Chain A
Amino acid sequence: MNENDIERLIREESQRVEIKTTAASILERYRIEEKVKKTSKKPWYRRPSFMVGAPAFGIVAVLSIGLGTYFGLGAGGGGQPSVGSSGGGQVVIPLGDTRIQAASYEVLAGMSFIGSTGSDTQAAAVRRARQVSETQFEQICAAFDSHYGMIATLESYSASGFVYTPIASDDPSMPYCIQIADFKFYYDAPLQDEDETLIQGYTTTLDGQRLQTVRIESEQEYEPGESESEIEVTLISADGTSVTIAQTNESEGSESEDEFSLIQRDARGRELTEISFQLESEHGQTEKTFDIEVSEGRELEWSYTIFDETSTSMKLAFEGEDGEISYRNPILVELDPRVYTYGELEYRP
C-alpha cells in the first residue's frame, strides 16, 4: 500500500464511524441553555451540597425516566400526607417506539413525607413498597450519608428500589455518578440560588453508550402553612427527540393542587404528544383529571375520583374519546395503615 491507499482507507473508515448526536439535539440543548440564561432571575452559584425537596424529587423522576425504555413522571404529595395516601397507579401510554410511563405517585409521595418530616413510619412503608432489604437500605443510606450527609434524600432513592453507587469523578463539572440497575447517571453539581436549582447531566448504559442529556430546573417557595414549587425535567435523546416533564404544586393548609404535563417532541422540536393531568386534594379526598392530546389534536380526557385515607378499595371512572382505556394488573399492597394500589392504565389510540 502506498500513502494514497492509507489515506483512502482512513477517510473511508472515518465515514463509517457512527456519530449519534443530531443537529436537532444540539440545537435543542442550545435553546434550553439560552432559555435558562434569560429566565434566571439571579445568578446561579455553585454549592457542593444537595437539597432535600424538589431537586431530589426531580432526580428520582429522572431515574424513573431512565430505567428501561420508559419515561416516567412521579407525582409527589407536596409534603401533604392527605395526597400521599392516595392510591395512584401507573399510566402506561404506548406511543410508537416510546412508551411513556407516568408512575409511582405513592413512592414519591412517600419521599415527600421523608423529606418534610423524616418519618420513620413512612420510610419503612416506602421501603416495603419497593422491597428494598433492610441491609441494602442501610448500606445505601450509609453510602449516601458519607457522600452528602443527607440520609433523608437517600431514602428517597432507595425507596424506589434503586442501587445507588456514587462514583467519584475528577471532572468538576460532573462531580458524581449514580449507577442504577443497567444505567449510569452523571450529574453536575446542582447550581443553586435561594429558591432555584438547576441540575444538568446525562445518562449512559453501563458500557458508556450515551442515552440522554438531562436538565432539571426547579423552583420552590415555602412560607408557614403554604408552599409553591415548580420542576421541569427535559430529556434529550441522541436522536434529537425530547421529552419535557413539568410539575407545579401549590399547597395551603389541607388543600393541595398539583399539575403535571409531559410534552414529547420530535427531532425538529415539533410537539408530538402533550399529556397533562391535575390532582386536587382537600381533607384527604383526591380528585385526578387527565387531559391527553396525542398529536394532530386528538383529545382524550380521563378522570377518576377516589381514595380517602382509610379506604381499602378504589373505583375508577373514565371518560374517553378517540381511544380505549383499560385498567389492568391491579395489585393491592398493604402498608399499614393504608392500602396502596399499583396497576396500569393503558391507552390505546
Chain B
Amino acid sequence: MSSDEILSALRAMKSGDMDGFEPFYEQTKRMVFFAAKAVLKDNARSEDVMQDVYIRFLEMLDRIEEDRGVVGLLVKMARNLALNILEREQRSVELDENLHGSISATDNLGSDLFERMRKLLDDDEYEIVILHVVDELKHREIAEMMSLPLGTVTWKYNRAIAKLQKGLGDLR
C-alpha cells in the first residue's frame, strides 16, 4: 500500500476528478473489506458493507480532510456499519432459515485459512488479528476503535498468535 498514492487519488477526487476513485479504491478496498469481515465473518455481507462505505465516503468527500487518516476513517466506517448489521440481527426474533442458509453458504467462498482462524480464535482475537495484520492498524488504534485498553489488545493479539501457531502448524 502506498499512502502517497492514496493521498494523490484523494486529492484528485476532491478536485472533481473522479478518475481518482479507481486507484483509491484499488489501494484501500481490501482493508475496508476485511474490516467488515473481521466483524461479520462472511464475504457476501462484508462486500455489501464495503460498497456502502464507499458510497458514504463519496457522499462526504467534500468534508474529508486530506491530513486525516482516510484509511482509518474507512476502516472505522466499515466496522461501524458491520456492527450495525450484527446488532440488527441480534435484535431479530427470528431469521428465516433460508436467509441463514444463504449467508452460511457464502462463508465457504472465503479462504480456508480465514475459516480456520475463525474456529481457532474468539471474536475479539479474530478482529484484532485482521485489523492489525491486514488493515495494518497499530495496537493503539485498534484499542481506540474497539474501546479496549491497549494492554488488553496486545495481550489478546499475542494469545491469538499463539493459538494460530499451534492450530496452523501444518501450514509451515
Q: Which A residues are within 8 Å of any B CB, using their own CB?
A: 1-3, 5-7, 9-11, 13-17, 19-21, 23-27, 29-30, 33, 165, 167-172, 177, 179, 184, 204, 206-210
Q: Least Cβ distance of A205 to chain B in Å? A: 9
Q: Which residue of A lies closest to B34 (CB)?
A: A14
Q: Which residues of A contact B43 (CB under 8 A)?
A: 17
A19 to B134, CA, bound (A): 15
B22 and A1 contacting across the interface, CB-CB below 8 Å: no
14 contacts between A and B (CB under 8 A): A6-B165, A7-B133, A10-B113, A10-B130, A13-B114, A14-B34, A14-B134, A17-B110, A19-B50, A21-B47, A21-B50, A29-B51, A170-B91, A208-B109
The answer to whether A19 and B113 touch (CB under 8 A), given A27-B21, A170-B95, A207-B102, is: no
The B interface is mostly helix, strand or loop, or mixed, namely helix
Q: Which residue of A lies closest to B50 (CB)?
A: A21
Q: Which residues of B contact A184 (CB under 8 A)?
A: 102
A20 and B98 contacting across the interface, CB-CB below 8 Å: no
* Top 10 A-B pairs, shortest CB-CB distance: A170-B92, A208-B106, A208-B102, A23-B25, A207-B105, A23-B22, A13-B113, A14-B134, A10-B133, A30-B58
Q: Which residues of A contact B102 (CB under 8 A)?
A: 184, 204, 206-208
Q: Which residues of A contact B172 (CB under 8 A)?
A: 1, 5
Q: Which residues of A contact B25 (CB under 8 A)?
A: 23, 26
Q: Least Cβ distance of A108 to chain B in Å? A: 28
B165 and A177 contacting across the interface, CB-CB below 8 Å: no
Q: Which residues of A contact B18 (CB under 8 A)?
A: 27
Q: Which residues of B contact A14 (CB under 8 A)?
A: 30, 34, 133-134
Q: Which residues of A contact B58 (CB under 8 A)?
A: 26-27, 30
Q: Which residue of A lies closest to B106 (CB)?
A: A208
B130-172 contacts to A (CB < 8 Å): 130, 133-134, 161, 164-165, 168-169, 171-172
Q: Which residues of A contact B22 (CB under 8 A)?
A: 23-24
Q: Which residues of B contact A15 (CB under 8 A)?
A: 30
B161 and A177 contacting across the interface, CB-CB below 8 Å: no
A6 and B164 contacting across the interface, CB-CB below 8 Å: yes
Q: Least Cβ distance of B6 to chain A in Å? A: 14
Q: Which residues of B contact A208 (CB under 8 A)?
A: 44, 102-103, 105-106, 109
Q: Which residue of A lies closest to B105 (CB)?
A: A207
A25 to B54, CA, bound (A): 11
A6 to B29, CA, bound (A): 22
Q: Which residue of B lies closest to A166 (CB)?
A: B96
